Structure 1
């Protein structure tokens, strides 16, 4: 009898071991440098890069109101690993022609009550992405209570993170709007100074391996997420929005009928060059909507408000800024808040007609707000419903307006995310470009909706004009913004003051400011400099800005470190632009690998001898040696631009 018990026990042990083996899968990147191991029964995954663990056992799973998909799941099927390939074109990204290749693994599971959830992993040479699928068909709306997904970093890892401000705080209750300074080089596990956690993208470093977390594929049936405030033992968990981050009577947390796909959780992995050149944030976004997008034209814009504020939103000043844009060969002029009261629709139509004669398109500001903030600026409450949007957008199209800047959104609840999608679809119908301000991170929407030219979601230049503290932090913050916030999505930082900021001492050199025209990416780059400020710069600076490309074909990360230094090369046609900004107030001797430009001769614009830091520039010829190496001295908080063709 004892022998029989032992035999049964052994048989059950073998079955258990076999079942566990079947539930544990490993998927590799095409180059085999990244290995992701998934335990589908225990709902954990871990990640190695070149055989080094960079994420320890991290959690998987979803809790729906009608079912808990975080425990006791049975593996039904593990699909054979297959190759996913995608090629697409973008006019508003770091690279025009983009290719994506990944290995995909799908694991099908069932809960104890028989409900289905699939986990889909895709691993490319620059990182991994995964999402959850609910494949059943059911018209009844299901609601998600929480997502158990976590990212568990090994001990000693460091983080570069931006706190997500608490809902209903800040100017006229307009937070969260992804506007805060980054906390840099902090140990993983340090809590956010905000109960609302940390925003994406989130950058981490484990030894010499870098990881960047973000999300994409965010449709109107899910909320935008973040990372939770607390991360004990370096384990960061998914954070859902705060209660106020929604439209009144609208959904906060995710809810949908079935079938249902969640957004992709994305982790870019590799050296800093790999992270900075990665396109995962758009690779995993939904393809472009099938609609006429022939009107989508990236460009540059003049803009009065950032330095001249509300008083400049009057007819004669805006006419001057149209002339300014035309003189600089810029494509747009943005008229900011209260234009409907200080200028009026009829006079704006006259300005649009005048601008058209000068090949300049007008962009108009709008207040998004319903009940989620108390901002008084107008036009207000004209975009809240499909019917009101159609009426307003149709009117703008007839006036010859080219785009809208919509400000003061209310957070990341599902109803608010749906509002973004609805605006983009309706704007495209009336051939209007879109710029979201006081807004969430766009998470690859500029691929899905090519008329989304840019979004703020950053502590941008307007904040520098409001206080000296922001100006003092501007050099390091600019480097962080370029490398992290701007990693996958366009960013309306509204850069570049070459002369003076009223009542503020600028801490950057003029060459630093000029370099941000290259280091920052935006489908429409709204420049902060005024006509009078531009009149003070040397002719070669204006010539450079007049000839600046409106979009880019390729990118190369040259050198840098978050918050300290950023050097990048961007190409349009056969012309390369190399730009660098020094985020520290210390002199640096750079040794740049420019082997792709060896033996080429170009021009470099750098700081002049005048130390006042305002409009001092130098322009000279530079040749790259046959070994491709260039040594360059850079002053503290300084920058440069080189052009080769």
Structure 2
């Protein structure tokens, strides 16, 4: 080969290699120098694609996310700062390693029990000129992208992150102003127009080609909870920690910063934040039994909580309805005032053992409310938890944590294994949101962290947003079914029935009075049918702030719940339940109360429902064949079903 040709070929090859090095990672020991670099991580052909970039001039990292060639999150800052190392700049690339995460696990509750996890994981290692090390771990799945920081020991406390998410400025946004109890309402903005302030880390955006929900996973007392800080006029949402200084005594792996992304059906059905979390710490889960709960607080208030006679009456009602649990709220264990426990004979004087024995004989388990301050120390937990287990209590509803600071997260770390050891299911109220906790600790059946039924300021629009925001990341204790709160809730009776399906909760606590259910036999009969767990979840139709209709399957039956904001209408719902013919029984609002519509439709047909203003519906669908007249299964209550359950079937 002539020398000029060899020179040209050599130059061409050198240029090709230089080009490839901008996308193909260097291996261990290679130092790319000051050049800009980027790396791509993806797991599925039509799934999201993360691109991590290193600015050669500043040594700063950024991450952007796209899906099918469209920008979901624009390149956004990545970095963490500790007492002894600034790992947000002057970084030099060291190496890349890759692996595939392929797992199966079975959840105790949630959108579906059997889960399959398939993710691509890339670990990028960097160093500062002083030799400080940072690993950025990025995971991509078909429904999301997440990253976390991994640091060696010896870098001191964490002072903050430079992490941020930059959304397209005009992207629709549904945001909840940050509160320590996570009970704010979601309101619509655009990414840039949202007022300056702090927002819940679960934030939904209408990104090009679909939706993106920002979230966290793997949060423990090793770190601090996060919120999103935003300045009006910008599409950037910065991660701010609850603590100004996060104690770090040894090696540190931070929580995952996650994006659940895809079309709205993908986001709604996603278990991505659970999939990121560590595997279950509970080996024997046979004692963990989800189910419906008759909750007495909104039904009778503190007076009911302090009365054994009233509680026995509620147990009787739960037993008659075949509801597996009854929850006893505030007041049952206090002798003087609500927060003063001074009687040394408090156990001997408590009527709880008598109630538990009474309920056990009727096949009803008891859940008890307790204040976090009474489980605050190891001594208090050693006093309460074994006693509750000995009495036969099935679960605890722990309230008033109201913090995601590291100190409170360390309390969660302590109480979780202790409640599991004493076979006590847990409902956290006034709490953090799930963030993967239900995979690692499956006896956590539900968490509040929501502006639920107790609120007097909820709107129908807020109710239609929750399935796409808060309830995406895990079980949500909204406490539906409070029919007696006429004028204190924004929705119709049929919509209230639908919430029992629309909102997933491992312990679905119904907040109504027995009288309110007896006055609405169709609602009562529908709640009687609700299963303890779900095999699958599908979004049938929805628009955040306007409408939400979800279908959840148990065996061969689908339960459907729908809520709407705005004027009365005839709603059209695609019946995407599968092929064949389906008997569909729909509870809706009529002129004089709830009415039942029964018809046979084919899978893929459109179910039309007359919805009142701020209304909704609940439906039950089962495979239809000749002779099938109802989807309702036999109930142990000897009382006959409402006449409307025995009517004709339309075809």
Aligned ranges 1:340-419 → 2 under 5 Å:
340-341=333-334, 345=347, 346-369=350-373, 382-419=374-411
Q: Match for 1:306 among 276, 279, 298? A: 298
2:596 is aligned to 619
SS of the residue 1:341 aligns to = coil
1:128 is aligned to 145
2:218 is aligned to 217
Q: How many residues align?
A: 583
How far apart, in 2, do the equivalents of 1:524 and 1:210 lie? Answer: 29
Q: CA deviation at 1:597?
A: 4.9
* 1:147–1:238 Cα contact (<8 Å) kept: yes
1:246 is aligned to none
The answer to whether structure 1 residue 519 and structure 2 residue 502 are counterparts is yes
Q: Which has the larger radius of gyration?
A: 2
The answer to whether structure 1 residue 542 and structure 2 residue 556 are counterparts is no
SS of the residue 1:353 aligns to = helix
1:187 is aligned to 190
Cα-to-partner distance string for 1:232-267 (whole Å, 9 max, x where unaligned): 52111101116xxxxxxxxx6422233211111110
Q: CA deviation at 1:26?
A: 1.3
Q: Match for 2:468 among 448, 465, 483? A: 483
1:492 is aligned to 477
The answer to whether structure 1 residue 143 and structure 2 residue 157 are counterparts is yes
The answer to whether structure 1 residue 76 and structure 2 residue 91 are counterparts is no
The answer to whether structure 1 residue 31 and structure 2 residue 31 are counterparts is no
Q: CA deviation at 1:336?
A: 1.0
SS of the residue 1:423 aligns to = helix
Aligned ranges 1:329-340 → 2 under 5 Å:
329-340=322-333
1:644 is aligned to 621
2:279 is aligned to 287
Cα distance change, pair 451–227 in 1 and its aligned pair in 2 (3 A): same
1:438 is aligned to 430
SS of the residue 1:257 aligns to = coil
How far apart, in 1, do the equivalents of 2:574 and 2:46 lie? Answer: 29
Cα-to-partner distance string for 1:422-461 (whole Å, 9 max, x where unaligned): 1111111111111111111121111111111111111111
The answer to whether structure 1 residue 575 and structure 2 residue 557 are counterparts is yes
CA RMSD of aligned residues (A): 2.4
Q: Match for 1:106 among 117, 123, 131? A: 123
Unaligned runs of 5+ in 1: 1-6, 166-175, 243-251, 370-381, 465-469, 611-615
How far apart, in 2, do the equivalents of 1:103 and 1:532 lie? Answer: 53
Q: Match for 1:94 among 108, 111, 123? A: 111
Cα distance change, pair 37–330 in 1 and its aligned pair in 2 (3 A): same
* 2:578–2:603 Cα contact (<8 Å) kept: no
How far apart, in 2, do the equivalents of 1:340 and 1:148 lie? Answer: 46
How far apart, in 1, do the equivalents of 2:280 and 2:247 lie? Answer: 24
How far apart, in 1, do the equivalents of 2:258 and 2:405 lie? Answer: 20
Q: CA deviation at 1:301?
A: 0.9
How far apart, in 1, do the equivalents of 2:220 and 2:579 lie? Answer: 42
Q: CA deviation at 1:627?
A: 4.7
* 2:267–2:468 Cα contact (<8 Å) kept: no
Taking structure 1 as the reference length, what is the TM-score of the superposition? 0.86
Q: CA deviation at 1:625?
A: 3.1
Q: CA deviation at 1:622?
A: 1.7
* 1:590–1:633 Cα contact (<8 Å) kept: no
Cα distance change, pair 420–590 in 1 and its aligned pair in 2 (3 A): same
Cα distance change, pair 235–627 in 1 and its aligned pair in 2 (3 A): closer
Q: CA deviation at 1:337?
A: 1.1
* 1:293–1:428 Cα contact (<8 Å) kept: no
How far apart, in 2, do the equivalents of 1:507 and 1:102 lie? Answer: 41
Cα distance change, pair 231–132 in 1 and its aligned pair in 2 (3 A): farther
How far apart, in 2, do the equivalents of 1:560 and 1:602 lie? Answer: 20
How far apart, in 1, do the equivalents of 2:252 and 2:204 lie? Answer: 29
How far apart, in 2, do the equivalents of 1:255 and 1:190 lie? Answer: 35
The answer to whether structure 1 residue 204 and structure 2 residue 188 are counterparts is no
Q: CA deviation at 1:14?
A: 7.3
SS of the residue 1:512 aligns to = helix
How far apart, in 2, do the equivalents of 1:573 and 1:238 lie? Answer: 42
1:241 is aligned to 242
1:501 is aligned to 485
* 1:598–1:627 Cα contact (<8 Å) kept: no
* 1:335–1:362 Cα contact (<8 Å) kept: yes
Aligned ranges 1:420-459 → 2 under 5 Å:
420-459=412-451
How far apart, in 2, do the equivalents of 1:453 and 1:506 lie? Answer: 25
How far apart, in 2, do the equivalents of 1:588 and 1:230 lie? Answer: 40
Cα distance change, pair 627–224 in 1 and its aligned pair in 2 (3 A): closer
